[in-house]
Structure 1
Amino acid sequence: MLGAGVFVGVAPAAEIAGRWMVLAVPLAALTALCAAISTAHQSASYRGGGAGYSCVRDKLGNASGRAAAGTHLVGHVTAMAATTGAAAEYLPFPKALTTVAVLVFVALLFATGVRIRGLAGWLWLGLTLAVLAVVVTACLTIAPVAAETGSQHRPLAVTSAAGVLFFAFLGFERLTSPGTGERRLPARAVRRGLLLGTSVTAVVLLTVVFAVTRQLGAVRLGLSGVPLLDALRAADAAALVPAVGLGAGLVMVPVLLGALRSARSVGLAVVADGELPGVLGRRTGDGPCPLDGVLLAVAAVLALLLTPAVAMGVAACCLLVHYAFVNAAARVLLADEWTWSMRAACLGMGLSVILAMSMPVPVMGATAVVTVAMPVGGALLSRVRPATRPRRVPVE
């Protein structure tokens, strides 16, 4: 969660809504929490990777399942592009070289089975919070040079800013929907983890937003490509820029690993269902497969072609559409249970649609193409090759 969204996402959100983006943070957090609750219930019923996709396909039909799969895959690939681009912006090396080097490094880590968990995970989280603490401290202890003029006041753009900041809360499926062979936590631990993770991310994001907005102002913040580094320069703390930039680049590596694992999990489920060419899923045991290389290659191309802010917007919009389908399927799955989880699925479906429809028109256009392309492509492919496995049904 504490990756490119907090290091880059505050700038496009400020450009959209100005100082009103503080209201977008809790709205994005609530949307993410509803989606997380739905995926947790689906994972309990549809075991293995791609539980949300399998539930959508089972409850809403093949076309909806394909749309959910397509928006998930494209959303995570563009999320990888946004994160890679953000790391390249922060690291003090040539951007094109850094982009390729970061993805090659992630590919090697993934192929060798490296998993950042346990003590390594806590150390990486500590590094992230330390980097953010340095920036926040500098911004709050040093007075801004001059008062901002021409500030943006766009309260009606809060939903659009929330759509962008939704990106900062992605990653909860690593807890709610583990892949095949991964550890599944008890329901109580998942609920605690969701509440804690979402709350901490929201507090950290609000703190960073307040600090950098105080130092840069909403207008300058909206124009920044590396808002945390620009805030340090404005606070007369340029000496800290190299260290903070290096730390920010390093802490995005686990984000890329998580995004790749999530995309791979759903991608393999889609391949097994015959919706993508079977050659993509060929592998030996739990080792790498051609799908991993395709995902990384597409992410590299997008990272070179798109700015992190644009890639982040496309990723957020695609995944909002994906979770609209997921929440709708969870609503059907929980139809006989009038519980808070079912109400959360209804609320999450509505919020996901509202935030996605509030995104900039080019971003919505790209998402619409993705939403339509996968059902059409899957339908054509299903005519020439049968599915390699039966559709999964809920576990009783």
Structure 2
Amino acid sequence: MTGTSAGQGRLERRLGLTDAVVIGLGSMIGAGVFAAFAPAARAAGSGLLLGLGLAALVAYCNATSSARLAARYPTSGGTYVYGRERLGDFWGYLAGWGFVVGKTASCAAMALTAGSYLWPEHAHAVAVAVVVALTAVNYAGMRKTVWLTRGIVVVVVAVLAAVVVACLTSGAADAARLGVTSQATVGGVLEAAGLLFFAFAGYARIATLGEEVRDPARTIPRAIPLALGLTLVVYVGVAVAVLAVLGGTRLGLATAPLAEAVRAAGLPALAPVVGVGAAVAATGSLLALILGVSRTTLAMARDRHLPHVLAAVHPRFNVPHRAELVVGAVVAVLAATADLRGAIGFSSFGVLVYYAIANASAWTLTRAEGRPARPIPALGLAGCLVLAFALPLSSVIAGAAVLAAGAAAYGLRRAITTLSA
């Protein structure tokens, strides 16, 4: 069963090119930039710059495949829809399952990250309050979500620009620290790329919102590479700045790498500002994640892979209000009761599988359907699989277990449907 049944309602196409790019930036320039460089440096030292380049290359392939598919299927759901339409119901379901389960845990982690920065002594309570507030913003309509995202992007980019300027203009900066050392093994660079890849993964939010973009066949293929390119410029600037000041070894040991970099640059007064930027970035990531998970939930509910009641669209606000409320409630409960910041490796693995399915789907497009050049989905698919299995073993095992649980649930549902037919 595909498509939208009568009476379910469609989402309204309100997003133009600038809006779509802003949502992509809000998804990518998030909390990860304040933390991801440290584990990448532990894996590859200054070779993290090579890892960043590799991650960007794979992200470009994924973005191109996703953009062509989104133009072809401009509806909510992203790779869940593409996999279903191009590869079969199971592959779409698997992509959607991995995204919804993994990103719901990521939402709770982002909420708790924001809570820890804003009020460490009451991190769980603050996390719940942030989830409730952002769910209310999303519920009130896409226009309010876009305006809030614009504000968040401006604040975070301003903080990151201050970090880059502070580091590169200080006497502590040394270009020699950017050189690749023997610590940068092939395995280490691949692991760094796998860790850094997720900083770029937010461009999928643009595709996931395909049903709410005006002129999607033209807007989405332009918005995704624009957002990705701008994010890459920001990340390269930040990576070069912190490496030049801290070096690969010291960066790998840092718990708050950007704050430590500005202290090493001789501007300790800037460290609290970096903390505020990290809190705002975590909030922006959470806003975009809730947006993406609720839209994928909507698409899966339309096909009855999730309760059909979640397929409703609000008649006034034109948002999947029931899906948003359920996602918000689940995230709030998780944020109140558990600390998932160190236990979401399966989300990383799941995202790479998600994009592997997107690239496999893009491979099946014909030239008349806007198929990208053949090497792009091929390289994207291979890159996703290589990076997925280059992740730490615990992440691979956890991710495979979550996908296996989803596959088992799919098989059980099909068996019950067959028996009752």
What TM-score, normalized by structure 1, do the two folds share? 0.85
Matching residue's letter, 1:275? H
State the distance in 2 between where 1:89 and 1:16 align: 26
| 1:224 to 1:106, Cα distance in 2 relative to 1, 3 A | farther
Contact 1:314 1:367 survives alignment (8 Å) = yes
Does structure 2 retain, via aligned residues, the 8 Å contact 1:3–1:83?
no
The question of whether the paired residues in 1 share the 8 Å contact of 2:79 and 2:354 is answered with no
Q: Is the 8 A contact 2:80 2:296 kept in 1?
A: yes
Q: Which amino acid aligns with 1:267?
A: T
Aligned to 1:393: none
> In the alignment, is residue 88 of structure 1 matched against residue 118 of structure 2?
no
Aligned with residue 321 of structure 1, among 331, 335, 353: 353
- Describe the superposition over 1:145-175 as per-residue Cα deviations: whole angstroms up to 9, x where unpaired: 9999xx8813221111111111111221333
Judge conservation of contact 1:50–1:269 (CA < 8 Å) in 2: yes
Q: 1:375 aligns with which of 407, 416, 419?
A: 407
Cα distance in 1 for partners of 2:237, 2:80 equals: 35
Shift of 1:239: 1.8
The aligned counterpart of 2:5 is none
Alignment of 1:109 with 2:140, yes or no, is: no
C-alpha displacement at 1:79, in angstroms? 3.2
- 29-38 or 120-129, larger mean C-alpha shift: 120-129
Partner of 2:18: none
The alpha-carbon deviation at position 188 of structure 1 amounts to 4.9
Cα distance in 2 between the residues matched to 1:220 and 1:306: 27
Distance between the aligned counterparts of 1:9 and 1:364, measured in 2? Answer: 18
Query: Equivalent of 2:60, from 33, 41, 51?
Result: 33
* Alignment match of 1:250 (pick from 264, 277, 280): 280
Aligned residue type for 1:315: S
Picking from 143, 147, 152, the partner of 2:171 is 143
Quick one: structure 1 residues 46 and 81, their matched pair in 2 at CA, closer, same or farther if it must change by over 3 Å? same
- What's 1:66 paired with? 93
Higher mean alpha-carbon deviation, 36-45 vs 154-163, is at 36-45
Q: How far off its partner does 1:264 sit? A: 1.3
For 2:202, what is the secondary structure of its paired residue?
A: coil
Please state if 1:133 is matched with 2:161. yes
- Which deviates further from its counterpart, 279-288 or 171-180? 279-288
Report what 1:7 is aligned to.
34
**Which amino acid is 1:111 matched to?**
Y
Q: State the match for 2:194 in structure 1.
A: 163
For residues 216-250 of structure 1, the C-alpha deviation after alignment (integer angstroms, 9 at most, x for no partner) is: 33233223332222222333322222233223312
Identical positions, percent: 36
User: How far apart in 2 are the matches of 1:282 and 1:188?
Assistant: 28
RMSD: 3.0
Alignment of 1:331-346 (within 5 A): 331-334=363-366, 340-346=372-378
Report the CA distance between 1:204 and its aligned residue.
1.3
1:174 equivalent in alignment to 2:202: no
What is the aligned partner in structure 2 of residue 296 from structure 1? 328
Structure 2: segments with no counterpart, 5+ residues = 1-27
Give the partner amino acid of 2:364. V
Q: How many Å separate the matches in 2 of 1:177 and 1:300?
A: 22
Asked whether the equivalents of residues 348 and 395 of structure 2 are also in contact (C-alpha less than 8 Å), the reply is: no
Residue 300 (structure 2) aligns with: 270
For structure 1, the 5+ residue unaligned runs are: 387-396
1:77 to 97, 104, 118: 104
After TM superposition, the score normalised by the length of structure 2 is 0.80
Deviation at 1:327, TM superposition (A): 0.9
Structure of higher RCO (CA pairs closer than 8 Å, 6+ residues apart): 1
Out of 186-195 and 226-235, give the one that drifted further.
186-195
- Paired position in structure 2 for 1:357: 389
In the aligned structure 1, how far is the partner of 2:339 from the partner of 2:48? 23
Which of 31-40 and 139-148 deviates more? Answer: 139-148
Counterpart residue type for residue 158 of structure 1: V
Aligned pair count?
Answer: 382
> 1:50 aligned to 2:77?
yes
Pairwise CA distance, 1:252:
3.4
Return the alpha-carbon distance in structure 2 between the equivalents of residues 63 and 195 of structure 1: 29
Letter in 1 for 2:199: A
In structure 2, the partner of 1:232 is 262
Pick the aligned partner of 2:225 from 188, 195, 203: 195
Deviates more, 1:123-132 or 1:332-341: 332-341
Instruction: Check the 8 A contact 2:52/2:196 in 1, yes or no.
Output: yes
Q: Deviations over 1:241-286 (max 9, x none)?
A: 2233223312433332221121111111112212123344456433
Q: Taking structure 1 as reference, are residues 193 and 272 closer, same or farther at Cα in structure 2, changes over 3 Å only?
A: closer
